[in-house]
């Protein structure tokens, strides 16, 4: 006799999450690793015709049948490119802001004093053409650079208040390095969707693979969609962001014969 399991009781450990188009047989695309356990739940709705069948109350018992069935997996996803975040935030569109130098008459100056890790302002030789909302690159492009959005335009010089921003610096910068206005800061900008009914392209097949002490759990969700209507986004620093995701799939009526989920557990 095969192993009988109760899926409602299962909490899968931290897992790798993958997705692909519905019904595809090619390779899976990686979303990444979760930062917590994957909680797996099965929801079922039953109908009992014996309570009132053709106007006769309770003629027979044990005629309950499942009228709706669903499965969902909930987890927190650590970091994500825009395409991955769009999977988590229902109907979202994503775009990565560029980091090219601004045209026209942009701010172009240098640091008037060294800047330390943790600073939320830099002292600059000049503030000409600087404005709140502008993006700047501190230091030369590449690994040395940091990008910030100006929140405060102060005064110039080593003794001035300089340019202020929200996010503390993650690197130290020497006096004299370039400070140049850019058209963006390289971050991914997410715009939530306004369409309540999602297109078929928003649905995917998902698999969540978690290593157990001796083997692997594999949870498959077929034709599933994110149900993360209110996203819980947390930020540690510029290199880390996390969002709580709930993936769900549901069948009802004649569709109950179609697969919606499968859970493979270690022997």
Lowest mean pLDDT among 15-19, 76-80, 246-250: 76-80
Q: Give the three-state DSSP class for 25.
A: coil
- Alpha carbons 146 and 140: distance in angstroms, whole number: 9
Which tokens is 66 given?
């499942």
Nearest to 203 by CA among 24, 16, 66: 24
Which residues 6+ apart lie within 8 Å of 214 measured at CB?
Answer: 266
Which tokens is 146 given?
């940091």
CA atoms within 13 A on the CB side of 184: 10
Question: Quick check: 112 pLDDT over 70?
Answer: yes
| C-alpha distances out from residue 191 to 86, 93, 108, 133, 247, Å | 9, 5, 31, 18, 20
| 261-264 and 240-252 strand pairing | unpaired
Residue with tokens 């003629």: 59
Nearest to 136 by CA among 154, 148, 124, 152: 148
Q: What is the pLDDT of residues 169-202, one digit of tens each?
A: 989 999 999 999 999 988 877 676 665 667 777 7
Which residues 6+ apart lie within 8 Å of 24 measured at CB?
Answer: 205
Could you tell me the pTM of the whole model?
Answer: 0.57
Q: What is the pLDDT of residues 60-96, one digit of tens each?
A: 555 566 677 778 888 887 755 555 666 666 666 667 7
> In the predicted model, what is the mean pLDDT of residues 97-124?
94
């Amino acid at each position: 006799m095969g192993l009988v399991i109760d899926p409602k009781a299962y909490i899968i450990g931290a897992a790798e999450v993958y997705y692909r188009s519905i019904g595809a047989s090619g390779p899976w695309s990686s979303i990444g690793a979760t930062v917590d356990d994957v909680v797996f739940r099965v929801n079922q709705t039953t109908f009992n015709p014996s309570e009132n069948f053709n106007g006769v109350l309770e003629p027979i018992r044990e005629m309950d049948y499942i009228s709706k069935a669903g499965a969902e997996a909930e987890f927190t996803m650590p970091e994500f490119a825009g395409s991955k975040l769009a999977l988590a935030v229902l109907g979202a569109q994503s775009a990565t802001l560029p980091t090219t130098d601004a045209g026209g008459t942009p701010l172009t100056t240098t640091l008037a004093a060294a800047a330390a890790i943790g600073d939320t302002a830099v002292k600059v030789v000049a503030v000409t053409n600087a404005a709140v909302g502008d993006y700047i690159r501190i230091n030369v492009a590449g690994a040395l650079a940091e990008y910030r959005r100006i929140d405060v335009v102060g005064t110039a010089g080593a003794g001035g208040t300089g340019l202020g921003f929200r996010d503390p610096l993650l690197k130290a910068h020497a006096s004299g390095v370039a400070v140049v206005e850019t058209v963006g800061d390289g971050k991914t900008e997410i715009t939530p969707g306004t369409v309540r009914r999602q297109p078929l392209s928003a649905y995917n097949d998902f698999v969540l693979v978690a290593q157990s002490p001796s083997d692997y759990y594999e949870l498959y969700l077929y034709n599933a969609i994110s149900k993360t209507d209110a996203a819980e986004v947390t930020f540690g620093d510029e290199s880390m962001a996390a969002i709580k995701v709930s993936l769900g799939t549901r069948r009802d009526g004649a569709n109950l014969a179609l697969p919606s989920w499968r859970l493979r557990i270690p022997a």
